[in-house]
Amino acid sequence: MPVYVYGCEACGHTFEKLMKIAERHLPCEEKCEKCGEANYNIRPTALHVSASVMTNLKPPDGFKDVLKRVKKNHKGSTIDV
């Protein structure tokens, strides 16, 4: 799930929230905790990748075999298997 940054247009308060893509609009309907206005918008940001997410990623079974075949069939490949 991506991390979205929301900002209140009335007072400038911002916060980040981990949201499903289909539910990313829900915080825009909430009232600001600082000023009480219901005026949040999604702010453009760079991609956030959590270190905890990255450390839990494992390649699917057989992926190393696929990389070995690619390396064997493509001379000069820089794939490190």
Residue 17 covered by a domain: yes
Assess contact for 50 and 63: CB atoms under 8 A: no
Q: What is the pLDDT of residues 39-65, one digit of tens each?
A: 899 987 766 555 555 566 677 788 888
CA 7 to each of CA 1, 28, 45, 50, 58: distance values in angstroms, whole numbers, following the listed order: 19, 9, 12, 21, 35
pLDDT band of residue 79 (cuts 50, 70, 90) is confident
Residues spanned by the domain of 49: 3-73
Residue 81 covered by a domain: no
Residue 56 covered by a domain: yes
The pTM of the full predicted model, rounded to 2 decimals, is 0.54
Greater confidence (59 vs 19) lies with: 19
3-state secondary structure of 4: strand
Residue 78 covered by a domain: no
Residue 57 covered by a domain: yes
Sheet containing 40-43: order of strands:
14-18, 3-8, 40-43
Q: In the predicted model, what is the mean pLDDT of residues 60-79?
A: 80
The pLDDT of residue 57: 67
Residue 13 covered by a domain: yes
| Average predicted confidence (pLDDT) for the chain | 82
Residue 80 covered by a domain: no
Count how many domains the chain has. 1
